[in-house]
Structure 1
């Protein structure tokens, strides 16, 4: 019974559409009302909120919901700009700054590898290493997504770290 009463009230409110009037006041303001007054002008709403759409001239897409849409794969390029290939770095403290960039831009977790071992994971592609032994070293960087998927990896970069020796003091 409640559902029948609710449907009746809904039908009554939806089907009623009264006349609308436009009244221009003495101060120039415009008022719209459903009560006709002496200088009220009826407003024609028959063409309001209607649009005629042109017929579709193109091809109807053939994909359906169940078909998988292939994603275009973006190829990222991760480049180490510092140190340069086979650069000799002279630093008695064994410190090294590694700078890399990726094109096109991507975000993820950058992993720095030194001599095949992962040393640092961070969001930035700029690294600072401390206490590196002297000699030849190989660095590389991998950028992985939050889920662990590899986005890009750099080529191996060889560099040499030189430290002054205590044994070669001039007399």
Structure 2
């Protein structure tokens, strides 16, 4: 009951605030002032306030179950992405090995294989979602994974990830000896 009375009071108060009049007063130095109480010693012009433009919120469209099934039905996989390494990650590995982890849902179908593409070149494939690349050169690389069916057709493609492999160089020039005076 108290909340109903409170709601009615708020509705009346909001209506009263909106019904207030606004006046425009020009001061002797030329500045313009807006007020809700007209001054008695100066002329005031009543301003007609136009109603506020409002747009109702639009609810985001949700995919129907048939749309979601259609999107998954084309590839057969609802999620396929590289989870490790992260995009723009720096990896320190003097051995030159990088672990690549993939997230694939649902599980890999019979006959499908995962292929990794490193710097535009295919570097192998298999059925595991955890792959280790070895003997990589240091520097910046990009990697992407694809799922191919038994016919060799790409049925799913992951996001592309760029990472930098940092490893110690054996080609370090000898430092000059410090000179003494």
Output the TM-score relative to the length of structure 2.
Answer: 0.50
Greater radius of gyration (CA)? 1
Write the distance in 1 (CA, Å) between the matches of 2:85 and 2:104: 16
Structure 1 residue 149 displacement after superposition? 2.6
Partner of 1:88: 90
Looking at structure 1, the residues matched to 71 and 81 of structure 2 have their Cα atoms a distance apart, in angstroms, of: 19
Distance between the aligned counterparts of 1:84 and 1:105, measured in 2?
Answer: 22
| Aligned pairs, number | 101
Structure 1 moving runs of 4+ over 4 Å? 168-171
Residue deviations 1:23-71 (CA, integer Å, cap 9, x gap): xxxxxxxxxxxxxxxxxxxxxxxxxxxxxxxxxxxxxxxxxxxxxxxx9
CA change 1:73–1:133 in 2 (3 A) is same
Give the helix-richer structure, 1 or 2. 2
The alignment yields a C-alpha RMSD, in angstroms, of: 2.2
For residues 86 and 169 of structure 1, the distance between their equivalents in structure 2, rounded to whole angstroms, comes to 32
User: Could you report, residue by residue, the CA deviation over 1:110-139 in whole angstroms, capped at 9, with x for unpaired residues?
Assistant: 000100000011111211111100000000
Alignment gaps of 5+ in structure 1: 1-70
TM score, norm. by length of structure 1: 0.53
Aligned runs of 1:2-41 on 2, under 5 Å? none
Equivalent position to 1:153, from 122, 134, 157:
157
Cα distance, 1:169 vs structure 2:
7.9
Shift of 1:168: 7.1
